[in-house]
Copies of this chain bind each other. A is one copy, B any other.
């Protein structure tokens, strides 16, 4: 029986993740992470305040979410270790001491990166620095070649002064370099620092055509892609070119309490309960309470199941927001267990029940899905969310956990155990250095659908303290 569990534990990427464990994992690794020891170094290139760290951070989060081990190596933080609060003159290219220190920081970052790859656990490293001269890029390229690492240069170019200044104000004056300093003074110092970089900045040139690179010009309004060879790089570039930096929020809500929730059954396509209907009626006001900037267009996304459509009904009717239904937002398919309670599953399929508790992220219901499967089918949803602006998603517990995990960088082991209570609106607002979260609880009671490891209780209360409670926020 156990051999039917079809638990897929291979590290995975996109559709390749659909690969099932126990059949030919080596072939998987050989092909899809290109080779047994595939290593990609994403080398950021660009002047300060061009969004490099934002892109680096998002790419890392995205890769981690789809199961590719990725890490950012920020050269600035190596430099900062020795020179915590440098003045603008430190960055003057004629300042030899400064130049020496920055070179040392780059070398330290490269060396750590190569060491990380050598552990065999790394697949994508992101080298976050200006890398603003041909010479520096040549040095990195050669270092990578020596270590059998593929270099992918990602240059962010921006000549829109407003964009640059808004980036400086939002990001840089709160950077560790300026901790405790006056923001206006900090902005001024930073503007000077950029001028120093501008003196020596060299965009990726024709003489560097043999490199694999992407140039993003003015936040992706123009994109130049050169010599992309492998699938992983091509998907990563596609992700990066879909990013935008317009301010927006994403709201997440589970459907209102359903009839199945009341009976403790999972899956199905039941109607919402009376209390669920009360939540649906309360949702428009809850949205307003959460704060919606004036003239903001919001789009409602639901799954194709009745309980989410019913839950968004009043919101749509009252606001006239556009609405979309996605099959990709349907609840995790519990296969043969669909319609059963946890108690019944524990009784009928004790081995499966235990296996699921053991590794909830990878456990695939017989004839159904695992959390990993859900992440794969949500990948295009995430891509579309990155392209979109303000969206409220009304969906299901497992799906919401996966989407939340993407934005809040929750590790795979934790995300399936997260508490996402009914009748609660979550508002996520992307910021330069992470995602801000707010929760708004409707004052409408509902059963708890959270289940602790090893229990099959119907309506268990989420513990006030404990491992599963731990929230991971950026």
Interface residues of A (CB under 8 A from B): 14-16, 18-20, 23-24, 27-28, 30-32, 209, 221-227, 231, 234, 238, 241-242, 299, 304, 309, 322-328, 338, 367, 380-381, 384, 387
Q: Is the CB of B380 within 8 A of A27?
A: no
Q: Is the CB of B224 within 8 A of A224?
A: yes
Q: Are A227 and B221 CB-contacts (below 8 A) given A15-B380, A31-B322, A328-B18?
A: yes
Q: Is the CB of B225 within 8 A of A222?
A: yes
What are some 28 contacts across the A-B interface (CB < 8 A)? A15-B326, A15-B381, A15-B384, A18-B304, A18-B326, A19-B304, A19-B324, A19-B325, A20-B304, A20-B325, A23-B304, A23-B309, A24-B323, A24-B325, A27-B322, A27-B323, A30-B322, A31-B322, A32-B324, A209-B222, A221-B226, A222-B225, A223-B223, A223-B225, A225-B225, A234-B242, A238-B238, A338-B367
Q: In the assembly, what is the distance between CA of A386 and CA of B468, in Å?
A: 44
Q: In the assembly, what is the distance between CA of A16 and CA of B223, in Å?
A: 25
Q: Which of B31, B241, B367 contacts A225 (CB 8 A)?
A: B241
Min C-beta distance of A207 to chain B, whole Å: 14
Q: Is the CB of B221 within 8 A of A223?
A: no
Q: Which residues of chain B are near A221, meaning CB under 8 Å? A: 226-227
What's the number of copies of this chain in the assembled complex?
2
Q: Which residues of chain B are near A23, meaning CB under 8 Å? A: 304, 309, 325
Q: Which of B32, B238, B324 contacts A28 (CB 8 A)?
A: B324
Q: Which residues of chain B are near A31, meaning CB under 8 Å? A: 299, 322, 324
Which of A32, A224, A381 has most chain B Cβ within 10 Å? Answer: A224
Q: In the assembly, what is the distance between CA of A31 and CA of B226, in Å?
A: 32
Q: Is the CB of B222 within 8 A of A223?
A: no
Would you list the 9 A-B pairs with minimal beta carbon distance, nearest first?
A18-B327, A223-B225, A15-B380, A20-B304, A222-B226, A224-B224, A23-B325, A27-B323, A31-B324
Q: Which residues of chain B are near A227, meaning CB under 8 Å? A: 221-222
Known A27-B324, A234-B387; 16 more pairs at CB < 8 Å: A15-B326, A15-B327, A18-B327, A19-B324, A19-B325, A20-B327, A23-B304, A24-B323, A24-B324, A221-B227, A222-B225, A223-B225, A225-B225, A225-B241, A231-B387, A234-B241
Q: Which residues of chain B are near A226, meaning CB under 8 Å? A: 221-223
Q: Which residue of B lies closest to A20 (CB)?
A: B304
Q: Which residues of chain B are near A338, meaning CB under 8 Å? A: 367
Q: In the assembly, what is the distance between CA of A367 and CA of B231, in Å?
A: 32
Q: In the assembly, what is the distance between CA of A252 and CA of B318, in Å?
A: 53
Min C-beta distance of A266 to chain B, whole Å: 15
Q: Are A380 and B309 CB-contacts (below 8 A) given A20-B304, A24-B323?
A: no
Q: Which residues of chain B are near A384, meaning CB under 8 Å? A: 15, 231
Q: In the assembly, what is the distance between CA of A31 and CA of B302, in Å?
A: 14
Min C-beta distance of A383 to chain B, whole Å: 9
Q: Which residue of B lies closest to A16 (CB)?
A: B326
Q: Which of B27, B234, B381 contacts A325 (CB 8 A)?
A: B27
Q: In the assembly, what is the distance between CA of A32 and CA of B31, in Å?
A: 33
Q: Which residue of B lies closest to A377 (CB)?
A: B15
Min C-beta distance of A283 to chain B, whole Å: 18
Q: Is the CB of B242 within 8 A of A328?
A: no
Q: Which residues of chain B are near A387, meaning CB under 8 Å? A: 231, 234
Q: Is the CB of B14 within 8 A of A380?
A: yes
Q: Which residues of chain B are near A328, meaning CB under 8 Å? A: 15, 18
Q: Which residues of chain B are near A32, meaning CB under 8 Å? A: 324
Q: In the assembly, what is the distance between CA of A107 and CA of B27, in Å?
A: 54
Q: Is the CB of A327 within 8 A of B19?
A: yes
Q: Which residue of B lies closest to A6 (CB)?
A: B304
Q: Are A326 and B19 CB-contacts (below 8 A) given A224-B222, A225-B222?
A: yes
Q: Which residues of chain B are near A224, meaning CB under 8 Å? A: 222-225
Min C-beta distance of A249 to chain B, whole Å: 19
Q: Which residues of chain B are near A324, meaning CB under 8 Å? A: 19, 24, 27-28, 31-32
Q: Which residue of B lies closest to A309 (CB)?
A: B23
Min C-beta distance of A29 to chain B, whole Å: 11
Q: In the assembly, what is the distance between CA of A31 and CA of B321, in Å?
A: 12
Which of A14, A223, A227 has most chain B Cβ within 10 Å? Answer: A223
Q: In the assembly, what is the distance between CA of A381 and CA of B221, in Å?
A: 29
Q: Which residues of chain B are near A18, meaning CB under 8 Å? A: 304, 326-328
Q: In the assembly, what is the distance between CA of A323 and CA of B27, in Å?
A: 6
Min C-beta distance of A394 to chain B, whole Å: 14
